[in-house]
Amino acid sequence: MSFAPDATIVLLALPAAAAALLAVLPSYRLSAALNVAAALAAFVASASLFVSAPPPNAYILIDDLNVVFIVLNTFIGFTASVFSATYIAHEIETGRLTPDHLRFYHAMYQFLLFSMNLALIANNIGLMWVAIELATLTTVLMVGIYRTQAAIEAAWKYFILGSVGIALALFGTILIYMAAQPVVGEGVPAMLWTSLIAHAPQFDPALLDLAFVFLLLGYGTKVGLAPLHAWLPDAHAEGPTPISAVLSGLLLNVALYAVLRFKLLLDANARALAPGPLMATLGLVSVVFAAFMLYRRRDVKRMFAYSSIEHMGIIVFAFGVGGPLANFAALLHMAMHSLTKSAIFYTVGQIAQVKGTQQIAEIRGLTVSHPLLGWSLVFGVFAIVGLPPMGVFMSEFLIVSSTFARTPGLALALAIGLLLALGALVLRMQGMAFGAPAGSTAPAKSSALPILAHFALVLIAGVYLPPPLVTWFQHVAQLLR
Amino acid sequence: MKGLAFDVSHLLAGGLVLVSFMLLYQDRLYALLNTFALQAVVLSLSVAWQAYVQDADHLYVTAFIAFAFKAIIIPIALHRIIVQLGIHRDVENVVGVGPTMMAGLALVALSEVVMLRIASDADVLAREDLAFALSVVLLGLLMMVVRHNAVSMVVGFMSLENGLILAAAGAKGMPLVVEVSVAFSVLVALVVIGVFLFRISERFESIDAEALDSFRGSR
């Protein structure tokens, strides 16, 4: 029991200390190893939260909802650091990055993990906002690290759109405070989740409505919902691949978590607007839009970035539809998408390093030249488009079927979006994986372990979901209504 | 006293909106920066008045931060940047001042309608403040949309943040944490922007963001 209160401190202090240390360490090999060690320690600390969580106080809140996010985040943070350790060695060899860049990169990596942990753990809506802003600024710097024209354009676009989103979210946060202040009283208590949710039924519904619109648009920009998604494909395509994996697997989820928390506030107030339909609409638009956009991609990382927009759309749609089953499916889908998509980015990152290009047209016959990478790509695409028996299939099936029971029209639109995306991804994957090999056939140098570990988890989850996990997700799904 | 408190804060918040309009049609970078500094001065006066009215000492700190950073340090820094980049004589093509101003008017009307109706049982001062703050935020957004120059976009973004600070100051008893963090994040943002501006100039010898757009990568 005495370990539990320390777990949250470990989650915050460890990455922060690691960031400071990595900022001064000159050797990139040592830094990479330390980076992995710190990420692993954070994962272990977060896993202990499952067993015993500290009681909420003025700064920290651990409940059943955010534990899921924290554990998923620290796990992928860990595997991405393993992948990154082998990935960056190659970047040094090719001269795309210098050791100085890497010192900066590793420090920023840990700082990013720190700010995401803080955003998930914080009990205070202001603190959460600050943490998400820090995470945004950190990733802006990392996206621009190659300093090519395209990377700078991507970082600039991300910075401008991300800041506007963050600004709108702050306005929403202030409005929430204004709504809470007459009921809860002035000062800090009016910004704590624990007191907000307890008093939400008495808040002024009109203020809550307006606040939610700003928060949904603001944090929705960070989730990558269409039409606010414009930064996402560029940021994914031009940054280092481990960061693409972290963006897709983690940062989008953190923003989604913020939206979910505020949705709970509105759900608790009977007179406020129902947040579900707004979220379902934005989600559905994102799915269908991204599915069409997938067909015209020529850059492989950009293509999978659009696939992330599609999947975040599916998740937001499912949370918007609501009900225990759809919420359960959305949580499952979030976990499955994070695992699968980050593994795909690990694969694609290696492919791009081997071939020296991200152009889909110039990548051919991977299953012949690089069997492991080629088949990983095939497996990853099959998993992400939702073919059985992988985990994404189960969650997508649950989402479509639970929606079909309530609003058949929406379920149909969603299914069309899913099928369109399936067509596009499988079409592009065929060209890359099969046929006569083109380009370099040098062996891949990065570790395949993170890829295989993620795919194994996705496959196992699709076949057999452990009952404790099911009960946990069901419990959270009921909390979310 | 209540009447005076209300009138003065109304005047200052209204002044902020007015300066936001002035920002919209500045086509010279120097003039733009000077107008932005003016807006920061009005903001700090407004926040200081809120501190006096609400008897909240921590807001004086916020007012001071707004004045020191936004009215002095940031404009001077940006002045130096544009001189170093040799673009201080550039005249920006502000497309359609008339339509932009009309759009700005419509946005202000929109925020007044939305806020006055919504916060009908909140206290009058906070409600009016919020309506003005939303106007400033929307005008900042508008400016970011119509400008192509990187410096103007940054100024637009900072004027948007001014609106946020006005809103935070108007929310009675809102903890200091948030205001300081906003000020701090603006500073961080400036560092980032500074780095970017220099990198952009290194690469393209122009800070017209349209030059960035011309390269669309392979999408």
Q: What is chain A's alpha carbon radius of gyration, rounded to the nearest angstrom?
A: 21
Higher pLDDT, A114 or B84: A114
> What count of Cα atoms within 13 Å lies in the side-chain half-sphere of residue A222?
36
A 10 A CB-CB count for A113 gives: 31
**Cβ contact A233–B168 (<8 Å):** no
| Distance between first and last Cα of chain B | 61
Q: Which two tokens stand for residue A298?
A: 């020529």
Tell me which of B84-88, B143-147, B209-213 is least confident. B209-213
| A85-88, long-range: CB < 8 A, 24+ apart | A85/A32, A85/A33, A85/A35, A85/A36, A85/A447, A86/A445, A86/A446, A86/A447, A87/A240, A87/A241, A87/A242, A87/A349, A87/A350, A87/A353, A87/A446, A88/A28, A88/A32, A88/A240, A88/A242
User: Which neighbouring-strand residues pair with A192?
Assistant: A124
- Name which of B114, B151, B120, B147 is nearest B133 in CA terms: B114
Contact A375, A455 (CB under 8 A): no
- What's the rounded Cα separation, in Å, for the pair A142 and A155? 8
Instruction: State the average pLDDT over residues B26-53.
Output: 90
Q: Which residues, 6 or more positions from A251, have their beta carbon under 8 angstroms from its beta carbon?
A: A112, A116, A135, A139, A222
Write down the pLDDT at residue B84. 72
Write down the pLDDT at residue A186. 82
| Distance between first and last Cα of chain A | 31
Q: Tell me how far the alpha carbon of residue A338 is from its chain's centroid.
A: 6
- What's the rounded Cα separation, in Å, for the pair A341 and A335? 10
Count contacts between A and B (CB, < 8 Å): 138
The whole-angstrom distance between A141's CA and the closest CA on chain B is 8
Domain boundaries, chain B: 2-214
Q: Tell me how far the alpha carbon of residue A327 is from its chain's centroid.
A: 17
- What's the rounded Cα separation, in Å, for the pair B133 and B10? 11
Instruction: Per residue of chain A (481 residues), give pLDDT as tens.
Output: 344 457 888 889 999 999 999 988 888 888 999 999 999 999 999 988 888 778 888 888 888 888 999 999 999 999 999 999 888 888 888 888 888 888 889 999 999 999 999 999 999 898 898 889 889 888 988 888 887 878 878 888 888 888 889 889 989 998 998 888 888 888 888 889 999 999 999 998 888 999 999 999 999 999 999 888 989 999 999 989 999 999 988 999 999 999 999 999 999 998 888 999 999 999 999 999 999 999 988 899 999 999 999 999 999 999 999 888 999 999 999 999 999 999 999 999 999 988 888 899 889 889 988 899 999 999 999 999 999 889 999 999 999 999 998 889 999 999 999 999 999 999 999 989 998 888 777 887 777 899 999 999 999 998 988 898 899 899 888 888 7
3-state DSSP call for residue A386?
coil
User: Which neighbouring-strand residues pair with A415?
Assistant: none
- Name which of B196, B202, B39, B64 is nearest B133 in CA terms: B39
Write down the pLDDT at residue B193. 65
Contact list, A154 vs chain B (CB under 8 Å): 217
Q: What is chain B's alpha carbon radius of gyration, rounded to the nearest angstrom?
A: 18
Write down the pLDDT at residue B207. 53
Task: Indicate whether B2 pLDDT > 80.
Answer: no
Write down the pLDDT at residue A2. 44
The whole-angstrom distance between B218's CA and the closest CA on chain A is 6
Nearest to A210 among B118, B141, B192 (CB): B118
Interchain CB contact of A454 with B (< 8 Å): no
Write down the pLDDT at residue B217. 44
Q: What angle do CA A436, A305, A96 make, to 5 degrees?
A: 70
* Per-residue pLDDT band at B183 (split at 50, 70, 90): low
Write down the pLDDT at residue B176. 57
Contact A234, A158 (CB under 8 A): yes
- What's the rounded Cα separation, in Å, for the pair B178 and A121? 17
Contact A224, A337 (CB under 8 A): no
- What's the rounded Cα separation, in Å, for the pair A231 and B126? 35
3-state DSSP call for residue B86?
coil
3-state DSSP call for residue A123?
coil
Write down the pLDDT at residue B122. 60
Task: Indicate whether B216 pLDDT > 50.
Answer: no
Give the predicted TM-score (pTM) of the model.
Answer: 0.91
Which residue intervals of A122-230 are DSSP H helices? 125-143, 149-184, 193-199, 205-223
**Cβ contact B185–A188 (<8 Å):** no
Interchain CB contact of A394 with B (< 8 Å): no
Q: Which residues, 6 or more positions from A430, have their beta carbon under 8 angstroms from its beta carbon?
A: none
What are the φ and ψ backbone dihedral angles of A226, each rounded to 5 degrees?
-65, 145
Interchain CB contact of A147 with B (< 8 Å): yes
* A residues 48..107 contacting B (CB < 8 A): none
Interchain CB contact of A434 with B (< 8 Å): no
Q: Which two tokens stand for residue A430?
A: 């065929």
Contact list, B148 vs chain A (CB under 8 Å): none
Write down the pLDDT at residue B35. 95
Residue type, B210: E
Contact list, A202 vs chain B (CB under 8 Å): none
Write down the pLDDT at residue A1. 39
